[in-house]
Structure 1
Amino acid sequence: MPDIVVVTLGNIDNDNRVKKIIDFFSILTTKSTHSISINSQKVPNCVNIKVDHRNQRYFGIPGSNLLIIYLKFIFKLLKLRTNTYFHCNDLIALPICVFIKTIGSNSKIVYDCHEYETEVHGLTKSKKILLGLLERFLIRYVDSVITVSNSIALEYARLYKISPPHVILNCPKYIKPTKNDLFRDIFNIKKSQTVFLYQGALAHGRGIEILINTFSTMSPGNVLIIMGNGVLEKSIKAKSQTIPNIFYHTSVSTASLLDYTASADYGISFIEDSCLSNRYCLPNKLFEYIMAGLPVVTSNLPEMKHVVNSHNVGVVSDDNTATGFKEAISRVKLLNYSKLKSNISNARQQFCWEKQTLILKKIYNL
């Protein structure tokens, strides 16, 4: 079995998917497992590339910061290039791994796409074209491709004329959740009130503004808790001070996350249909809700809709608007809660990280 090097141009401390992959390799392989990332502090055996600021310029040249980061990564990886699997996370790291492979090493590349890389929210048309050309060129040097949903896998197969990529979902590790009242105790929420939870990044495109508008018009019996950090944090805090049934809680550690999740009654996964990456996504919070035992309310997007309807674990909004979501919240409260919980208990067996590692074992012949 070759050595394995997990490569990411992000901070592994904040990337649960990458950390779980590193843990998997460290436990199940007898060969050396390394990782290389930016500014990570909490991951054992990780080569840490220190970067003061991702957006700064070097020598006044726009974009040269990325070039300097690439050169630092290449210098470190050259020492590990022989008989090595590079587990490459996201398109931004792929040029580094392809360069190392093409200079005479017998390494292999597993390209792990955490989203639809060339169709993410906020990209201009010209950037989409340039990234698409880059990915089309580089993917010919890749030995295996991983995506996070079936729809994205089919798109990659169609676009690049490759075999359908493997699909590894962003699922948490399996647990048996224990119901608790953390949120009710923290915010003094009554037992008679129903607690809906949004957890995750507080960013545009996640439907957070629509959720706030929705709950601001609902009765006090329906409570929304927004938990996380991000660019919308300040405005959410302000809204929570003026709207009595909306509360804000900062993000919590991965170790305690599902304890907090399990203290809600329903989980909300509302992604706006603003780009193809969003349309075909299967966000980790959807599976966190399921693992914590919560029925879910989701956007009307194909992959989430398939999970919810095929396993009967909640309700899909008819349309991605405040009106559509208000109606979906009313519908989910009419469903038999005990039956939903039973369905969720069965779904947890499938949507857990332990199931996803079976695909990693197949890719790496473990």
Structure 2
Amino acid sequence: MKRVLIISYSKIDTDPRVLRQIDFFEDQGYDIFLCGIAYEGDLPFFQLTKPKQLLFRVLKLGIMVFKLNKIRVREFLHHTDLDKLLKINPTFDLIVANDAETWPLAAEFKKNEPDIKLVFDAHEQYAKQFSDLRSWKWFHKGYANYLCSEFIPVADSFLTVCDGIAQDYEKEYNVKPQVVLNTPEYEPELTPSQVGETIELIHHGIANRSRQIEKIIHMMDYLDDRFRLNLMLMPVDQIYYEELQKLSEGKNILFLEPVVTTEISKFINQFDIGLFLLEPVNFNYTYALPNKFFEFIQARLAIAIGPSIEMKKIVLKEKIGIVSQTFDELDLANRINNLSREDIIVLKQNVHHIAQKYSNDKNIDIFKGILSRVLK
């Protein structure tokens, strides 16, 4: 039986893309081992980053200030479970390394086990990830660029999440990634819910200040009384989450308890319009094509967005929603106000017809092709 190590710089239980990788390799009959920030499950798990003593925390700060990228990689590897992973026998046939931070670990493993094949999955354009933040540009941009330049060539296969980011990787690093969309599992039993007198909007995701969720709260001031906004947010920034709650007081807005990742599409099926207004404050936001967009599709919701490049292409091509001319909340509110109940019913039916097309079914075929190519 073949063995795979899946590495992710995330809490694996809440990372939809990584969870789909786990499901895929389970279906293919692999023995699966995981390495990440945290994991609550039954599969063998190894800690990606171990606690650091004060001396190492001070040392890392100095390394970051003076941009000592090679030393920063060694410091990172020192605090991983690399030694434990190397003792696993038999070793792995394949390593899938999600996020640029994990690529040095996969590459170091290959130095010790040259026959192992590496698949690197770039969920973002890492060298441009938080280009709107001065502190990130000072401490992390150079390191992210170093990781991309140094380690992408080591991979046997390189993946990313959308065309725009793939094209930028090709331009910057002379590599042509395979695009694997953030599409969830197909939900064949779901159909569009009935549109009632109150038209239900839904936005879900993390309460992250850079996403400017307050804009869609302000947007409710411009919408007709027939619209209600539902917010299902993970309070990763508790202070920001409470600010959003306070800002919503007196408005037609409900805050909902989050559901587990794999249940999102089923839960939000009860609503009418999936809402996402993402100001393009950095490169990755400009080309955003996130999980939530495809969860809207599986939930059979009409979609209302700003003119985000990658999402806009699909919305207009498939006729599944509306796109504002700008990222101004008043502009999007005007577009939503112009929708009749009948318009929304038609849009939801259009979404229903393309739900399987934008599901994980296609990604399964892509991954099978990757395995047949790199493990031949």
Fold match (TM-score > 0.5) = yes
Q: Is the contact made by 1:57 and 1:63 (CA closer than 8 Å) also made in structure 2?
A: no
CA RMSD of the aligned region, Å?
A: 2.6
Counterparts of 2:352 and 2:93, CA distance in 1: 40
Q: Is the contact made by 1:88 and 1:97 (CA closer than 8 Å) also made in structure 2?
A: yes
Q: From the superposition, tell whether residues 14 and 83 of structure 1 become closer, same or farther in structure 2 (CA, over 3 Å).
A: closer
User: Could you say what secondary structure the match of 1:264 adopts?
Assistant: coil
Q: Is the contact made by 1:268 and 1:298 (CA closer than 8 Å) also made in structure 2?
A: yes
Counterparts of 2:271 and 2:295, CA distance in 1: 12
TM-score (ref. length: structure 1): 0.88
Q: From the superposition, tell whether residues 37 and 130 of structure 1 become closer, same or farther in structure 2 (CA, over 3 Å).
A: closer
Counterparts of 2:76 and 2:328, CA distance in 1: 44
How do residues 166-315 of structure 1 correspond to structure 2 at under 5 angstroms?
166-175=178-187, 176-178=189-191, 191-230=196-235, 231=237, 232-240=240-248, 242-315=249-322
User: Could you say what secondary structure the match of 2:327 adopts?
Assistant: coil
User: Could you say what secondary structure the match of 2:209 adopts?
Assistant: coil
Q: 1:131 aligns with which of 126, 134, 144?
A: 144
The residue identity in structure 2 corresponding to 1:132 is N
Matched, 1:48 2:56: no
In structure 2, runs of 5+ residues without a counterpart are 62-71
The residue identity in structure 2 corresponding to 1:3 is R
Q: Is the contact made by 2:191 and 2:352 (CA closer than 8 Å) also made in structure 1?
A: no
Q: From the superposition, tell whether residues 23 and 165 of structure 1 become closer, same or farther in structure 2 (CA, over 3 Å).
A: same
- Corresponding residue number in structure 2 for 1:151: 164
The residue identity in structure 1 corresponding to 2:257 is T
User: Could you say what secondary structure the match of 1:205 adopts?
Assistant: helix
Counterparts of 2:23 and 2:113, CA distance in 1: 29
Counterparts of 2:49 and 2:166, CA distance in 1: 33
Q: From the superposition, tell whether residues 156 and 344 of structure 1 become closer, same or farther in structure 2 (CA, over 3 Å).
A: same
The residue identity in structure 2 corresponding to 1:137 is E
In structure 1, runs of 5+ residues without a counterpart are 182-189
- Corresponding residue number in structure 1 for 2:129: 120
How do residues 18-57 of structure 1 correspond to structure 2 at under 5 angstroms?
18-29=18-29, 31-42=30-41, 44-49=42-47, 57=54
* Number of matched pairs: 353
TM-score (ref. length: structure 2): 0.86
Q: 1:353 aligns with which of 342, 360, 364?
A: 360
Counterparts of 1:305 and 1:287, CA distance in 2: 13
- Corresponding residue number in structure 2 for 1:12: 12
- Corresponding residue number in structure 1 for 2:120: 111
Q: CA deviation at 1:82?
A: 4.5
Counterparts of 1:265 and 1:253, CA distance in 2: 20
Percent of aligned pairs with the same amino acid: 25
Say which is worse superposed, 289-298 or 103-112, in terms of deviation: 103-112
Q: Is the contact made by 2:12 and 2:18 (CA closer than 8 Å) also made in structure 1?
A: yes
Say which is worse superposed, 143-152 or 76-85, in terms of deviation: 76-85
Q: From the superposition, tell whether residues 218 and 341 of structure 1 become closer, same or farther in structure 2 (CA, over 3 Å).
A: closer
Q: From the superposition, tell whether residues 194 and 70 of structure 1 become closer, same or farther in structure 2 (CA, over 3 Å).
A: farther
Matched, 1:93 2:90: no
Matched, 1:141 2:119: no
Counterparts of 2:81 and 2:105, CA distance in 1: 7
- Corresponding residue number in structure 1 for 2:64: none
The residue identity in structure 2 corresponding to 1:239 is L
Q: From the superposition, tell whether residues 191 and 342 of structure 1 become closer, same or farther in structure 2 (CA, over 3 Å).
A: closer
User: Could you say what secondary structure the match of 2:259 adopts?
Assistant: coil
Q: CA deviation at 1:191?
A: 4.1
Q: CA deviation at 1:70?
A: 4.8
Counterparts of 1:59 and 1:363, CA distance in 2: 39
Counterparts of 1:280 and 1:335, CA distance in 2: 31
How do residues 52-71 of structure 1 correspond to structure 2 at under 5 angstroms?
57-63=54-60, 67=75, 70-71=78-79
Q: Deviations over 1:271-329 (max 9, x none)?
A: 21011111111011111111111010112111011010111100111100122221221
Say which is worse superposed, 121-130 or 14-23, in terms of deviation: 121-130
